């Protein structure tokens, strides 16, 4: 979870929405302080700002490594992104992951009131509810999984799969990004965990009853539209346009992560220039890819691979006045990103697998309604479920992607507008604010759990339950 110190473009989305929700109701923001220390204090640093109390916990360096680079990003991240070849499972990492969750629970517990509701974010903290329950917390706890949830065939490769699903059952509400993710988890529950499933995603597992539902995350659409409009005619936009010298711009903005399909995207752009030579010197691709998790070996290898690929494409096709692929490993302010998105004729978002992908939504929000660009989007991004106006591609099909880029570049203004309107309608409807409100409302039970079902509390299985095998 982002800390209150977080700045820059990333703080524009999730962190701001959650902070807004907390500011409205008042509440406690609990997370890692970003610091490690041998024998760290068992109590978090607590301070107040407005209606919000912040509590930040420092971790032991070895625990932090085992938790973050080890189990969370060396095991769960590749697993949930269907990259079994990159999955490293070590018992010591698993133990460190659980230890950090136990440490967090012990530090958080004294700060909780019995009727508080707790919202836990992401795969780093799946066991937090189990640990809080073990310490006696009986209030509502919700969990949102920001990344994909894998199908059972993939999930079963994880040695700790059963323990993790038991951990999920300690929540009252488990939120996932897409229907596909919900189906994957429900299938596991019914076919592997001997659970039962009732209407509305209510699930029973052993002595627990909880709900699994879809909450597609969105962006702060109004803020993005505002930034993009402010970018029109700005000095940065003018500089960018001048540098393009009338050429079309195709843009990609992704953390440097193997889930983002960057080598395939580069290869597709190279293939476009090879198989559609008339496109040479008419289109420039800009890939913004800030470095991420550089302490994990796989990320270092990916960085080298991309540098090689970018060099090869530019070496092969560049002219003295045209560099086909601009590759930038740096972050930008949100206003600059908005200017880049708005200038780009194509937004190229082609992850091999992605929970949602907010860049896709930001690209849509930043477009000029009178002359919108086209979103080329991987079918394996959660956003593809909503953004049906995109050109949907399979990122494993490099030649297919090159053809898709070619036809998107030729699209008429009328078609671009139709596609953009369809996408923009979704982006403005399912905003980050709506996502936040809906989850909190469902969790706090204001409207009850879905179809009038009561919240989970160690209830017996209903008679007409669907039972799994075994």
The contact set with ligand ADP (CB under 6 A) reads 9-10, 13, 253, 255, 288, 290, 331-332, 337, 356-359, 362
The H-assigned helical ranges of 157-254 are 161-168, 179-191, 221-231, 235-244
Among 6, 23, 28, residue whose Cα is nearest residue 107: 28
| Comparison of 222 and 399: residue with beta carbon closer to ligand ADP | 222
| Comparison of 106 and 326: residue with beta carbon closer to ligand ADP | 326
Cβ at position 352, least distance to ligand ADP in Å: 12
Cβ at position 349, least distance to ligand ADP in Å: 8
CB 246 within 8 A of CB 230: no
| Comparison of 89 and 332: residue with beta carbon closer to ligand ADP | 332
Does the annotation count 146 as an active-site position? Answer: yes
Does the annotation count 354 as an active-site position? Answer: yes
Cβ at position 436, least distance to ligand ADP in Å: 15
| Comparison of 9 and 134: residue with beta carbon closer to ligand ADP | 9
CA 22 from chain centre, in angstroms, equals 21
Give dist(CA 67, CA 440) in Å, integer.
Answer: 27
CB 444 within 8 A of CB 385: no
CB 355 within 8 A of CB 149: no
CB 198 within 8 A of CB 204: yes
For residue 466, give the H/E element and its range: strand 466-467
- Token readout for 90 is 């070590």
**Cα Rg, the chain, nearest whole Å:** 23
Cβ at position 75, least distance to ligand ADP in Å: 17
The DSSP output letter for 74 is I
Among 93, 227, 254, 354, the active-site one is 354
Cβ at position 291, least distance to ligand ADP in Å: 10
Among 122, 146, 385, 418, the active-site one is 146
| Comparison of 272 and 359: residue with beta carbon closer to ligand ADP | 359
CA 381 from chain centre, in angstroms, equals 10
Strands, E assignment, 105-172: 118-121, 141-144
Q: Tell me the residue nearest to ligand ADP as measured from the CB.
A: 9
Which are the catalytic amino acids?
Answer: 146, 354
């Amino acid at each position: 979870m982002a800390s209150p110190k977080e700045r820059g473009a990333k703080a524009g989305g999730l962190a701001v929405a959650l902070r807004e929700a907390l500011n409205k109701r008042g509440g406690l923001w609990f997370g890692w302080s970003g610091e490690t220390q041998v024998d760290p204090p068992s109590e978090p640093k607590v301070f107040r700002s407005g209606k919000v109390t912040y509590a930040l916990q420092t971790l032991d360096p070895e625990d932090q490594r085992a938790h973050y680079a080890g189990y969370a990003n060396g095991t769960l991240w590749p697993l949930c992104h269907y990259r079994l070849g990159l999955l490293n499972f070590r018992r010591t990492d698993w133990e460190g992951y659980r230890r950090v969750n136990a440490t967090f629970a012990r530090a958080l517990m004294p700060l909780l009131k019995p009727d508080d509701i707790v919202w836990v974010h992401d795969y780093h903290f799946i066991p937090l509810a189990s640990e809080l329950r073990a310490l006696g917390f009986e209030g509502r706890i919700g969990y949102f999984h920001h990344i994909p949830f894998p199908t059972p065939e993939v999930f079963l490769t994880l040695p700790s799969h059963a323990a993790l699903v038991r951990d999920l059952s300690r929540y009252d509400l488990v939120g996932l990004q897409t229907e596909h993710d919900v189906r994957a988890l429900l299938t596991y529950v019914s076919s592997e965990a001997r659970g039962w499933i009732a209407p509305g995603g209510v699930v029973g597992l052993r002595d627990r009853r909880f709900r699994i539902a879809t909450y597609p995350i969105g962006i702060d659409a109004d803020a993005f539209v505002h930034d993009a409009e402010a970018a029109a005619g700005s000095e940065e936009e003018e500089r960018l346009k001048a540098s393009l010298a009338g050429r079309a711009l195709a843009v990609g903005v992704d953390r440097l992560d193997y889930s983002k399909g960057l080598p395939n995207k580069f290869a597709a752009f190279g293939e476009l220039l090879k198989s559609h030579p008339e496109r040479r010197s008419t289109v420039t691709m800009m890939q913004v890819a800030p470095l991420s998790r550089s302490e994990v070996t796989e990320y270092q290898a990916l960085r080298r691979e991309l540098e090689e690929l970018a060099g090869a494409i530019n070496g092969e096709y560049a002219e003295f006045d045209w560099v086909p692929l601009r590759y930038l490993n740096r972050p930008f302010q949100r206003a600059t990103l908005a200017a880049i998105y708005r200038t780009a004729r194509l937004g190229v978002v082609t992850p091999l697998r992605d929970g949602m992908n907010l860049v896709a939504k930001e690209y849509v929000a930043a477009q000029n309604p009178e002359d919108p660009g086209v979103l080329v989007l991987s079918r394996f991004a959660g956003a593809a479920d909503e953004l049906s106006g995109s050109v949907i591609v399979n990122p494993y099909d490099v030649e297919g992607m090159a053809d898709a880029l070619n036809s998107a570049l030729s699209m008429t203004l009328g078609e671009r507008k139709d596609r953009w309107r369809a996408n923009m309608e979704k982006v403005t409807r399912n905003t980050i604010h709506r996502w936040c409100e809906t989850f909190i409302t469902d969790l706090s039970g204001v409207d009850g759990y879905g179809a009038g079902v009561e919240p989970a509390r160690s209830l017996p299985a209903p008679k007409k339950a669907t039972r799994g095998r075994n």
